[in-house]
Amino acid sequence: MNMLLSNINIQQIVIFLAVAEQGGFAKAALTLHMTQSAISKSIAKLESELNLMLFIRTTKKLSLTNVGDFLYKRWKVELSQMQNTYREALEIHMQEEKSINICIANTTHPDKYFWPVIELFQQKYSDVKLNIDSDYLTTLYEKLTDGIYDIIFVPDFNYYSFDDKIVSWKWVAINNIQIIVPDKNPLSQKSLLTIDDIKNESFIIIEDDDTSKNYSKFFYDFFKKTNIKPRIGKSYKNAYSAKAAYKMIQDLMLTDDYFDLGQYENLKRIPLQGYYNGIVCVWNKKIRTPYIQKLIDFFPNYDINSFKGLSHLR
């Protein structure tokens, strides 16, 4: 990098151009809303830094030297180009602010919580570009904190991994905890389950990979709160393994209303009375923009502690 002009700043060049155009310090001072003394000192410093005389000073007038005239003509064009480039940069920045990178967990059913809100948002903010992706839970949070995604939507049991110094989050969808029941189990005939119904049943546990550790924490915390020691049946390393083995599932599975299990005749999803979970929206605190905030605010903000759901049913 050429450091020849490293001691000169843009303001000095702007002042020099104004003095040359106005033909004097006094008029330039009025134009730039500065004192005449400040203008004079800036020009003197510029000439000293350049080691060039830019103006011929007489008692009657101020005029450019040949080298001053040369610099004036060149710098005027170059400063104008810089201003145009800056305007273009601002336009790029504005477009980036109107672009939001979103990712939803690919184990969830977005029609239940995501698309209805997104469609309304797009109607109101049609100029905002939404880049929507779907990804594995194992990589979603890391990609958010790395800045690849602006917002992610994941099952709420993932909050065990959240660092509140880095991210913010809120519930955007809540419903009764769901119990997946094989059709051969008598409980499959019910439309609503209670804790007493499931306390002696065996459950699938998902706990082998890093993301599943969050699920297993949720699983054991849930049963700890209900004062039940869970009976563990089959263990799977992730949700995909459980889905792949759907014809062999004999145990119950603790999940949410948004888990994309698929439509299997041998499995029934039944709500659990009085207990709730759902989907959370998570965003990186460091890269928030006005439009990201608008989208976050567009989604409902649920309080899981005051949610009633199906608890009133019997």
For residue range 118-137, what is the model confidence (pLDDT) as tens digits?
Answer: 999 999 999 899 999 999 88
Mean pLDDT of 98-112: 93
- Backbone phi, then psi, for 68, in 5-degree steps? -65, -40
Q: Are 177 and 258 in contact (CB under 8 A)?
A: no
pLDDT band at 310 (very low <50, low <70, confident <90, very high): low
313 DSSP β-pair partners: none
Domains of the chain listed by start with CATH number: 10-96 (1.10.10.10), 99-298 (3.40.190.290)
Average pLDDT, the chain: 89
DSSP result, 126-137: TTSEEEEEEE-H
Residue 172 has pLDDT above 80, yes or no: yes
What are the C-alpha distances in Å from 306 to residues 48, 273, 277, 302?
71, 14, 12, 8
Q: Are 123 and 107 in contact (CB under 8 A)?
A: no
Mean pLDDT of 84-103: 80
pLDDT above 90 covers what percent of the chain?
67
Cα–Cα distance, 11 to 33 (Å, whole number): 13
Residue 288 has pLDDT above 90, yes or no: no
Q: What is the pTM of this model?
A: 0.71
